[in-house]
Amino acid sequence: MLADATRVRLILALREGERSVNQLAELVDKSPAAVSQHLAKLRLARIVAARQDGQRVFYRLENEHASALVSDAIFQAEHTLGTTPRHHHPQAEQK
């Protein structure tokens, strides 16, 4: 489920809180239709939850586990670069 870069970017965007499909599409630079398809898959996997408000649908992370999984994957990838990973720098903790 998280092998797709767009889905990872959507999860990272949703860490900041609930967002509409159009907001997410703008953030990940994809069409709303493409984002909706990815969100549907994430919803089936119970990674995100949806709330409808009139014609608009808002998405949020179902729980913190998907966010933690993505963060851990990024941290692991940083270790493979051969330099000191960004998350080991004291400044990284302040952001």
pLDDT, tens digit (0-9, with 9 covering 90-100), for 48-84: 999 999 999 999 999 888 888 888 887 777 778 777 7
Per-residue model confidence as pLDDT tens digits over 5-46? 899 899 989 998 999 999 999 999 999 999 999 999 999 999
Return the H-helix or E-strand segment holding 2: none
Residue 61 CA to residue 15 CA, distance in Å, equals 7
37/87: higher pLDDT: 37
Element containing residue 70 per DSSP (H, E): helix 64-79
**3-state SS string for 77-88:** HHHCCCCCCHHH
Residue ranges of domains in the chain: 5-94
Q: Which fold has domain 5-94?
A: Arc Repressor Mutant, subunit A (1.10.10)
**Strand, helix or coil at 25?**
helix
What's the one-letter identity of residue 12?
L
